[in-house]
Structure 1
Amino acid sequence: MENNQNWWRGAVIYQVYPRSFYDANNDGVGDLPGVIDKIDYISSLGVDAIWLSPFFTSPMKDFGYDVSNYCDVDPIFGTISDFDALIDKAHNHGLKVVIDQVLNHTSDKHPWFEESRKSHENDKADWYIWADAKPDGTAPNNWLSVFGGPAWQWDSTRRQYYLHNFLASQPDLNFHNPAVVDAILGTVDFWLKRGVDGFRLDTANYFFHDIELKDNPAKEVIVEGSIGVRLDNPYAYQQHLYDKSQPENIAFLQRLRTLLNQYPNTTTVGEIGCDFSLKTMAEYTQGNDKLHMCYSFDLLTHDSSMQHIRHTMETIEAGLGDGWPCWSIGNHDVERVATRWGGEHSSANKSKVFMIMLLSLRGSICLYQGEELGLPEAELEYDQLVDPYGINFWPDFKGRDGCRTPMPWSNTESGGFSQSSKTWLPVNEHHLPLAVSEQEGDRSSVLHAYRDFLHLRRTHPELIHGNIEFVYNDETTLSFIRTYEGQSLYIAINTAEQTKILSTDLALSPLTLPEALPTGYIKDQQIILPACSVLLAIVTR
């Protein structure tokens, strides 16, 4: 691999959810050998790196985000040798590999927790966050779980409550204990030694809690947004001042960065979900001594207006300093963007336009598997759900299964995902006409549009390294300029179902875009943007 310490700045990272990507051993669940089999496909997209969602040993109560052994591969996904082979093949294709580290909490089946819950005196007694009940037997404070209900679970053996920000089977580690921090960093070092190129840090602002366990206040203004939680979840009604985003987190991130600095060309991207996510993103990435980059939930909401996009970008730019953002409009936790933003007017061109907008913003980019096919959200019946989040909140919130159904590789009953008669989630019949095999042969497909634009992006360093200056926006239209080393590229985006016309006094020389990309044109100093189209042009003065 080439020596490039800053490869991650402006990189495009393709998220693979292994359970749903490709099933190589035909047991109905995707696996690491399946990812290896599809490395050629990932490489053909023109991305820079792969992000692998968790594949560690786990009871799978939260599908790998409940880790019982940080330093091994769960048999459902393969072996440690399979992981080594994946690293080798990815690197041979010029792809970096970023893995998902779930450091905030473990499974309740992790040996650390099994030891901790035995007594108040054992070696792991304070490796988790234990607290006595109030005199009336109730929980220590008012903190809530993201997945609904109190964030405290009573343990009859210790006769204390333990903290779980997510499922009760996911107890939070006590980062105030130096031994815990040392052990966690040891697990990170294990994977660095195996050649990984970086880490996506799950819930990166949750590691520390207020040691006095102060109650969170109520929110004065309640809106869907930065914490990635719907309004039918009571979690959205608290201001989360004390259960996460604590100042002690900074010192831990600095220790983590010191470790990564021992391994050249590695990186971190932190997931930030809090009431002031853009401010936290800036704090966590400034100074070249903490995280390399962060992403928030600000573009993972239902607000696809160009006002929201511009406001988010300008807010982070104003406070970022020398920090660096990472953006995504879809992942394994939210409704697929073709449905969430496309709505009832979802179309191939709309998927293409949102992709071009995302890939033209300043920052690094995460793409979620299936976005390059324009997959809509899969509709599931209640008895098909496996996600505890959706089961808890059904029917108002159907959970995350709809964005996690198997990847369609061919227009066949199984979607080419598996030869098993039953897959862990059903293959969605509406995805089959959008399968890779169908889009490969259609030069105007969403898949070809992704490939075309990703390869074009590599030829325009303005889109990777340039600064950003916004020119115009309304509800459905956005224009901005990216400038790098004296070269400026103008980008205009129309997400509306009708033609939009923009005036400009700039001297523009439009780029000729590949046929898969819906393109506007310039006429009489006006930019004509047909429905769901874009214009890219070199600024000549």
Structure 2
Amino acid sequence: MTNTRTQSIDRDWWRGAVIYEIYPRSFQDSNGDGIGDLAGITSRLPYVAELGVDAIWIAPFMRSPMADFGYDVADYRDVDPQFGTLADFDALVSRAHDLGLKVMIDLVLSHTSNQHPWFAESRRDRHNARADWYVWADAKPDGSPPSNWLSNFGGSAWEWDAGRGQYYLHNFLIEQPDLNFHNEEVVQAVLDVVRFWLDRGVDGFRLDTANFYFHDAELRDNPPLPTELQNERLAPRDRPYNWQEHCYDKNRPENLDFLRRFRALLDEYPAATAVGEVGELIHGTALMAEYTGGGDRLHMCYAFDLLNTALPTVADIRTVIEEFERAATDGWACWAFSNHDVVRHASRWAKDRTDGAAILRLAAAILLTLRGSVCLYQGEELGQTEADIAFADIVDPWGKRYWPTIKGRDGCRTPMVWSEALPHGGFTTATAKPWLPVPAEHLPLAVERQAQHDDSLLACYRTLLAWRRTLPALVKGSIQFLDLHPQVLAFERRHGDECLLVAFNLAGGQPLEVDLTPTLVERLQEDLTSPVLHGRLDQQRLSLPPHSGLIARLAYGTDHP
């Protein structure tokens, strides 16, 4: 199937786009087996379009034994039967395009399932046609692994294969062997996969673990994390993986040449794009800048700087954004507060707080006004919290292995709630057992209920997303932070002839009155504040109630790049 769409093409549509992440197992079950599927997604696309986003990102749905729920691919060119068929996928793409939505899909290229035919052949012996398609290495003389590299899921990143008599590399589960990107045949094979899905009509990709493609060919040991970085946020005691400086098992300079080849392939298509996941806390913003700079690599990237924090301060947000802006003079970021891998920010930031609802509205406004594209995770617009899953219901291998210290990722992956009145929140049929339980506390957050109330969080997201579309400076503009008050996150956004002042009260529930500088007072033109932000502009002063914000139009100044 070739891409024959002929509508006018905006090759730059991704810049400032809002992308809605769908975790297919948990979005909508259409056949009553308790597992969400592609047909279920298609049935709910009108809701996504009405929300006001630009694109959807669908987490893995390719054929897989599901050791890591689709992030262990056994066939890159087929849909897993749990999710449907290729025909179901084609129907989804067609319906999304009819609704004005772009379709991005997850591509897991750094590793495959150990059930993939490529690996079955590679492990057979040391001389077959795919013997070098994965990262194999001899044991050290004492029988120990080739290097000190660690798996993200704990323990050594090396697994002994008795049949072949060598170790193979797995940066994640033992069932997820790493491909050898130093082999040109491997690179060509994964690029062929990219072309396969572009020819089916997808508009882009989310690249899983985009900084893991290459390893050090010499298999040198990683050094320990520098002492000054050994703290509980960057190197928690329950995560030995974070105790290393990962300069040899990932983040390799060879990655840039592959990203250029990947981008050149995307550029053959009318408006294909990609957002790369940078799985790195220490050097995340630097890698984001490196991977998106120059116009010949990835279009955009995201790291985890804002995805695993407690309620952020002005300094937390400003530091991350300014670090990226300094490093990436021509790059582009994609920001998110929640996704399928981290504790939902509704729990990280607002759990057990009487002002939690206001905090979530403020979070939405901040995310949708920062410079960069945006990823929203399904249920975020409803305020779904991290679910407390009983051990008997845990399915995430990470949670199973390290319970109760680490409970895994199931808590952020529970089903979307559509109706408070229907069994399982309307996710599946009454007689089915959802693959993860639907928490009772999520039912009052259901779409059907919130859609009836103009003051709901869902209504807030819809309002902000619609408003954002009318202000080009919020979508594609530059950013410059302002020092108005230590607890006010303030910045200018500029694009074309539009200039905006954006300010948010992060004073932890306290109202603020902030005097503007004479220069800003001279430039003020009008208060554009949306009803959901609640801040006010009173001549020379910003009046910001707790957890509020304000946007005003400014005349151009001369002190902004």
Common topology (TM > 0.5) = yes
Say whether residues 1:533 and 2:559 are aligned partners: no
Say whether residues 1:330 and 2:338 are aligned partners: yes
Task: Give secondary structure in 2 for the equivalent of 1:538.
Answer: strand
Of 511, 521, 524, which residue of structure 2 is paired with 1:499? 511
In the alignment, what sits opposite 2:369?
A: 360
Of 36, 44, 55, which residue of structure 2 is paired with 1:30? 36
In the alignment, what sits opposite 1:319?
A: 327
Post-superposition shift, 1:376?
1.2
Partner deviation per Cα, 1:52-88 (whole Å, 9 max, x = no partner): 0000000001000000000000000000000000000
Partner deviation per Cα, 1:221-262 (whole Å, 9 max, x = no partner): 224667xx7541100100001000111111111111111111
Aligned pairs (5 A) from 1:16-415: 16-220=22-226, 221-223=229-231, 230-274=236-280, 275-303=282-310, 304-345=312-353, 347-412=356-421, 413-415=423-425
Task: Give secondary structure in 2 for the equivalent of 1:414.
Answer: helix
Post-superposition shift, 1:324?
1.0
Gaps of 5+ in 2: 1-6, 557-561
Count of residue correspondences? 538
Post-superposition shift, 1:305?
1.6
Task: Give secondary structure in 1 for the equivalent of 2:321.
Answer: helix
Structure 1 distance, partners of 2:294, 2:142, is: 47
The 8 Å contact of residues 528 and 550 in structure 2, kept in 1 or not, is answered as no
Q: Percent identity?
A: 52
In the alignment, what sits opposite 1:433?
A: 444
- Give the alignment's TM-score, normalised by structure 1: 0.97
Task: Give secondary structure in 1 for the equivalent of 2:177.
Answer: coil
Query: Residue 145 and residue 473 in structure 1: after superposition, are their counterparts in 2 closer, same or farther (change >3 A)?
Result: farther
Structure 1 distance, partners of 2:461, 2:236, is: 30
Gaps of 5+ in 1: none
Query: Residue 230 and residue 36 in structure 1: after superposition, are their counterparts in 2 closer, same or farther (change >3 A)?
Result: farther
Structure 2 distance, partners of 1:411, 1:224, is: 39
Structure 2 letter corresponding to 1:299:
L
Task: Give secondary structure in 2 for the equivalent of 1:162.
Answer: strand
Structure 2 letter corresponding to 1:85:
A
Structure 2 letter corresponding to 1:269:
V
- Give the alignment's TM-score, normalised by structure 2: 0.93
Structure 2 letter corresponding to 1:280:
L
In the alignment, what sits opposite 2:428?
A: 418
Partner deviation per Cα, 1:130-149 (whole Å, 9 max, x = no partner): 11111111111100001111
Partner deviation per Cα, 1:424-443 (whole Å, 9 max, x = no partner): 00011111001001100010
Greater Cα offset, 71-80 or 419-428: 419-428
Greater Cα offset, 254-263 or 206-215: 254-263
Query: Residue 22 and residue 159 in structure 1: after superposition, are their counterparts in 2 closer, same or farther (change >3 A)?
Result: same
Of 527, 534, 548, which residue of structure 2 is paired with 1:519? 534
Structure 1 letter corresponding to 2:415:
P
Taking only aligned residues, the RMSD between alpha carbons, in angstroms, comes to 1.5
Structure 1 distance, partners of 2:392, 2:50, is: 37
Structure 2 letter corresponding to 1:450:
Y
